[in-house]
Homo-oligomer: A and B are copies of this chain.
Amino acid sequence: MSASPLRIGVVGLGRLGKRHAENLAYRVSGAALVAVCSPVEAERMWARETLPAPRVYDDYRALLDDRDVDAVWLVTPSALHAQQIIDALRAGKHVFCEKPLSLDFAECERVIEEAQRHPQLQATIGFMRRFDPSYRNAFEKIEAGAIGRPFMVRSQTCDQNDPEGFFVRFAPTSGGIFLDCTVHDIDVARWLLGMPKAKRVYASGVVALHEGLREFGDVDNGVAICEFEGGRLAMFYASRTLAHGNDTGSEVIGTAGALYIGRNPRANRVEIADASGIRNECAPTFFDRFEEAFLCEAQAFVAAVREGRQSGATLADAMEATRIGYALRESLASGRAVDL
């Protein structure tokens, strides 16, 4: 393993970017947060006050020119990911990039071609569920044969309803519910089923609450079936309208048993017994639910780069997830099954 720490520059300091920056600054052994970059003055101010003296850039190009940065951590708008990854690789930096790789399939291919020219650099897309301790535990149980041969995954990404429908404003650029949310479930399903390729998908959905989505052909509740090679299946559900919290979890069914991951999104270990019954409160957001996953993901990336190996989802994995997500969107629009 490399003796010196991996020197990281975080690009993008929105809500999730801040969290990544704090993890990298204080909680990831072997990492040194040496630079941040944001076009927003308030975010740069936050970095100066909160983080341990990083260099603060307002321009991505300048950060790439910083020779003390070994790796960039992209927490930027989805539309920028592909080109930013390419630029980082050309600048000789390792890349961690939040999902999705791109909403455009041709762009995915362009990034992968570029990456192939830099085999010494790591590039990973942030499908953090692979690092969540419970998902990891399930993965290990499957590897150990606990449920026989896994043949089906049911997976969901469901947000608590935002009565103000803030996310509707992102509908024009989010790629729609399947590329924005279900892309996580697609990666989880492939990861737990042995990385199969998809053969055919079908999707459907409804607008339950947020009428503003209709003009973009989007829905606030979407469902899908995905058939993989080799007799493997997945069912997906994504929602923007749950009442009880962020209810994101998965189920893997095998020939000798099944595993449920996060079936009840408990906020903590407290149960309340009162006139309404016995209940637990639920994690309100995916930040709360996946706080530990984001940290473990960062630790794994840093360790992997220092040890010269891959960790987490490859660019090819991310491209396949995008390819499937695209097909789901197409199916939703056409009302027909889509062959891949």
Residues of A within 8 A of B (CB): 26-27, 29, 133-134, 137-138, 141, 146-147, 149, 151-152, 154, 200, 202, 204-209, 221, 223-225, 227, 231-233, 235, 237, 239, 241-245, 247, 249, 253, 255-282, 335-337
Contacts and interface: CB of A to CB of B under 8 A. Distances in A.
A270 B278 contact: no
A137 B263 CA distance: 22
14 contacts: A141-B272, A146-B272, A147-B272, A149-B208, A152-B206, A152-B221, A205-B233, A242-B253, A243-B275, A256-B274, A257-B272, A257-B274, A276-B279, A278-B279
Contacts of A232: 206
A280 B272 CA distance: 11
Contact of A270 (B137, B202, B223, B270): B137
Copies per assembly: 4
A223 B233 contact: yes
Contact of A257 (B243, B259, B262): B243
Contacts of A260: 270-271, 273
Contacts of A224: 225
A226 B231 CA distance: 22
A134 B269 contact: yes
Contacts of A206: 151-152, 231-233
Given A239-B253, A243-B258, A274-B243, A204 B223 contact: no
Nearest to A224: B225
A255 B205 CA distance: 14
A244 B268 contact: no
Contacts of A245: 277
Contacts of A241: 255
Nearest to A52: B29
A268 B133 contact: yes
A259 B270 contact: yes
Contacts of A336: 336-337
A204 B265 CA distance: 29
Given A202-B337, A208-B231, A282 B272 contact: no
A276 B200 CA distance: 35
